[in-house]
Amino acid sequence: MKIIVAGGDGFCGWPTALYLSKQGFDVAIIDNLVRREYDVEMDSNSLTPIAPLEERVAKWKEVSGKNIDLYIGDLNDYDFLSQVFEAFKPEAFVHYAEQRSAPYSMIDREHAIYTQSNNVLGTLNVLYAMKAFAPDCHLIKLGTMGEYGTPNIDIEEGWIDIEHKGRKDRMLYPKKPGSFYHLTKVHDSHNIEFACRSWGIRATDLNQGVVYGINIDENDQDPILYNRFDYDGIFGTVLNRFIVQAAKGLPLSVYGKGGQTRGFINIEDTVRCIEIAALNPAERGEFRVFNQMTQYFSVQDLAEKVKKVAEEEGLEVTISHVENPRVEQEEHYFHAVSTRLEDLGLKPHQLTDDVIRRVLKLAMDNIDRLKEDKVMNSPSWK
């Protein structure tokens, strides 16, 4: 299958490209490398050194014998995108290529506007390119569990059957996201559903939880293939951040009460979910939603898990409850249905002590690269 991984230089996209290539997919990457520019803008970095994309792809060819095509450009450049569709003729399009940090989107007006236009308009371009050049292509779009927010009822997989004043309908599940970034995913979902309904596009919206872990086996073969490891207060996600804080002897920064509960997924399952979606495409005109998470934890639970493993490794760890820069519920109900990917064959990796230990070792090996003043640099939501 010919498959494009848009955002293939990023944290989820790079391992996905390697994994799909290893499985025998014919892979092309689209990326405008803007994620590397955010690091420069924020004076931040990946804890692991990351090689330039061309070097990564050349190394992959050397170790695997497999070619990955590269298209460096922006989804918001419609001429570029059209040319890629015409040249590569994808059968599936994995869309990771968005600005994905909630804190980045909340820095100020400019960052909110950039995030919304980059993400929402980029996705609209992809939909138009599919309609024009590849109407049978399957869009595999990364959404987020954060689209739903934390409602006081069970979260369904994208759609909900509603009975209202004696009448029934099947509607998109109501959304209440927690940042201008998360809102872009809601806007995307609506645009994609409309394109499926109107043009017969086939789409799978993967509402992914917070991803943890760094390297999958394909990345581990050579340091040139290593994945990026975000730890700063803007792009670092909570579990990976706690592990880096433990490795450096910094307090684990639970925001507020720590009862915030989220869906989580191991990066090894992220790549497998993409493969499962690609091998089981949505029907023409179908807008299909899977909740791509395997377990849920409160941030307090995660801090305690990291503390335990780090102490077993001889590190001294404290957990601190810092003022929450975000506006979010710190104690709430959370129960999300997430059975559809498992029905199609996903065998979830659980968050074990060994998984935490593997990331902790990688953090300790690279701890001299940490920029300590970037660990607590989240902007305030207010």
Q: Least distance in Å: CB of 240 to ligand USQ?
A: 8
Tell me: does residue 205 bind ligand NAD (CB under 6 A). Answer: no
Site of tokens 């993400």: 119
Asked if 243 and 303 touch (Cβ cutoff 8 Å), the reply is: no
Q: Active site includes 181?
A: yes
C-alpha 196/C-alpha 204 separation (Å) is 10
Binding mask 270-309 for ligand NAD (x = CB under 6 A): ----------------------------------------
Tell me: does residue 145 bind ligand USQ (CB under 6 A). Answer: yes
Q: Where are the alpha helices (DSSP H) in the chain?
A: 13-22, 34-42, 53-64, 78-88, 102-105, 109-116, 122-133, 180-199, 217-220, 238-248, 267-279, 299-312, 340-343, 353-365
Tell me: does residue 34 bind ligand NAD (CB under 6 A). Answer: yes
C-alpha 118/C-alpha 286 separation (Å) is 25
Token pair listed for 76: 């918001």
Angle at alpha carbon of residue 330, lines to 326 and 335, rounded to 5°: 115
- Nearer Cβ to ligand NAD, position 56 or 100? 100
Q: Minimal CA–CA distance to 280: which of 192, 190, 346, 336?
A: 346
Asked if 248 and 370 touch (Cβ cutoff 8 Å), the reply is: yes
71, 173, 181, 212: the catalytic one is: 181
Asked if 16 and 270 touch (Cβ cutoff 8 Å), the reply is: yes
Residues 180-199 close enough to bind ligand NAD by CB under 6 A: none
- Nearer Cβ to ligand USQ, position 137 or 244? 244
Cβ-in-10-Å burial (0-12, 13-18, 19+) of 221 comes to middle
Q: Least distance in Å: CB of 265 to ligand USQ?
A: 9
Q: Active site includes 237?
A: no
Tell me: does residue 128 bind ligand USQ (CB under 6 A). Answer: no
Give me the residue whose beta carbon is nearest to ligand USQ.
146
Among 4, 11, 19, 213, interactor with ligand NAD by CB under 6 A: 11
Site of tokens 């600005």: 99
Site of tokens 């399952």: 269
Tell me: does residue 31 bind ligand NAD (CB under 6 A). Answer: yes
- Nearer Cβ to ligand USQ, position 193 or 232? 232
Tell me: does residue 28 bind ligand NAD (CB under 6 A). Answer: no
Asked if 95 and 170 touch (Cβ cutoff 8 Å), the reply is: no
Site of tokens 């100020």: 108
Tell me: does residue 158 bind ligand USQ (CB under 6 A). Answer: no
C-alpha 382/C-alpha 380 separation (Å) is 5
Tell me: does residue 75 bind ligand NAD (CB under 6 A). Answer: yes
- The stretch among 203-211, 246-254, 277-285, 324-332 that binds ligand NAD (CB under 6 A) is 203-211
Q: Active site includes 144?
A: yes
Size of interface with ligand NAD, in residues (CB under 6 A): 28
Partner from ligand NAD, ligand USQ, none contacting 74, C-beta within 5 to 8 A by type: ligand NAD
Residues near ligand USQ (CB under 6 A) = 100-102, 144-146, 182, 209-210, 237-238, 241, 253-255, 260, 262-263, 299, 326, 328
Residues near ligand NAD (CB under 6 A) = 7, 9-13, 30-35, 74-76, 96-100, 118, 122, 142, 144, 208, 210-211, 237
Active site residues: 144, 181, 185
